[in-house]
Amino acid sequence: MTPGRRVVVTGIGVVSPIGTGKDAFWAGLMAGQSGVGRITRFDPSGFDTTIAAEVRDFDPTAYMDKKEVRRNDRFVHFAYAAARMALDDAHFSITPQNAEQVGVVIGSGIGGAETWERQHEILLERGPSRVSPFFVPMIIVNMAAGVISILTGAKGPSSSVVTACATSGNAIGDAMRLIHRGEANAIMAGGTEAAITKLSIAGFCAMKAMSTRNDEPTKAVRPFDAKRDGFVMGEGSGIVLLEELEQAVKREARIYCELVGYGSSEDAYHITQPDPEGDGAARSMANALHDAKMEPSEIQYINAHGTSTPYNDRTETIAIKRVFGGDAKKVPVSSTKSMTAHMLGAAGGVELIASALVLQNQVLPPTINYEFPDPECDLDYVPNTPRKAAVRAAMSNAFGFGGHNATLIVRTYDGR
């Protein structure tokens, strides 16, 4: 790390099932709004799960021209929209003078799923010569970062992270490290996902990982609740503009918060199930605290991974207790997935944004649908309604298939 280089969040861009743009997103959180409904992107009849949290009424041509829309998958549409919002929110211009110091680190868990399926159908029905010449660049995960760089002119470090549902937590943490090392002064970082497709839903259904509460879609995502029965898939993108502090101060940028801690770990246990003792998740949180030079008692809010699956919610609760000890029940914990559903590779970015907005507004988003306490999940989950609170530092968790864990810590910037 270059001595003294600190990283702050100066821009926010979000596309979510409960609102596009930071104001609509925050309003959705404060209203306890569920984004879950019957799937409309295809006919889900015959699927075990017929519900998802779709981004409705999204027009990609509001952010990119029609030619670019045709040449890119939906996950890239979401990413570019969120990146554009983050730049505009920060009043940050990329110029020939600063372009080489502006980077892009954007990941996705799955990438161009919709294009994969559509082009495979064309191959089978019309033959190989009719497959789009844009097929490969439309499906590969790195194209979100690539297109954002191309359309904004950012020429600094550019990469993609793929760690399943930990993706954008790792992406934001990796971007922070690049700024620490002096390799960039500003980076658009986060994740994007658009995997509400026939094959994706069928695959997760086959794993028995998804909720089948099809008759009550808005109550299907119920993190930490005793009657939770699986996750619900969401889609969208969450991207922040990270800047080196001195640059942000010099240009009189609005600073949402300082990104002070990043921890990462691996369960090394199972391809889908978390370590039942929460070892990897606990180490990720502990690593982030160590990186931030903070004690657990200095955290006033945790935005949990909180997927609404029986395994995850139990093990995350265990992990929090391992790290926070006797203070665990004093720390408010909420899962905003109860409203957005699980946005897979975009989840960590959207939830880091929620945490930054908590610091700005001093209100905790609720965990909705919390009706039946689970004896194994016995923390303060901010049930059902928002809560005013004094929050100086917040932790955000993102855990993924394969045992990947990422934790970020943000703290109020007070000018010192």
Q: How confident is the model at residue 416 (pLDDT cuts 50, 70, 90)?
A: confident
Phi, psi (degrees; rounded to nearest 5) at 250 = -60, -35
Report the percent of the chain where pLDDT is more than 70. 99
pLDDT tens-digit readout, 48-91: 999 999 999 999 999 999 999 999 999 999 999 999 999 999 99
What pLDDT score does 348 carry? 98
Q: How confident is the model at residue 205 (pLDDT cuts 50, 70, 90)?
A: very high
How many Å apart are CA 35 and CA 228, to the nearest integer? 17
CA distances from 99 to 71, 161, 279 (A): 24, 22, 41
What pLDDT score does 1 carry? 42
Identify whether the C-beta of residue 5 lies closer than 8 Å to the C-beta of residue 182: yes
Res. 267: pLDDT tops 90: yes
Q: How confident is the model at residue 133 (pLDDT cuts 50, 70, 90)?
A: very high
Res. 164: pLDDT tops 50: yes
Only one residue has tokens 């017929």, namely: 50
- E strand or H helix at 339: helix 337-340
pLDDT tens-digit readout, 374-405: 999 999 999 999 999 999 999 999 999 999 99
> What is the set of active-site residues?
165, 305, 342
Phi, psi (degrees; rounded to nearest 5) at 237 = -155, 145
What pLDDT score does 330 carry? 97
How many Å apart are CA 186 and CA 167, to the nearest integer? 20
Angle at 144 between CA 71 and CA 37, to 5 degrees: 85
Q: How confident is the model at residue 276 (pLDDT cuts 50, 70, 90)?
A: very high
Res. 47: pLDDT tops 90: yes
Domain architecture of the chain: domains with CATH: 7-250 (3.40.47.10), 261-411 (3.40.47.10)
β-pairing, 393-400 vs 387-388, is unpaired
Torsion of CA 389, 395, 401, 403, to 10 degrees: -140
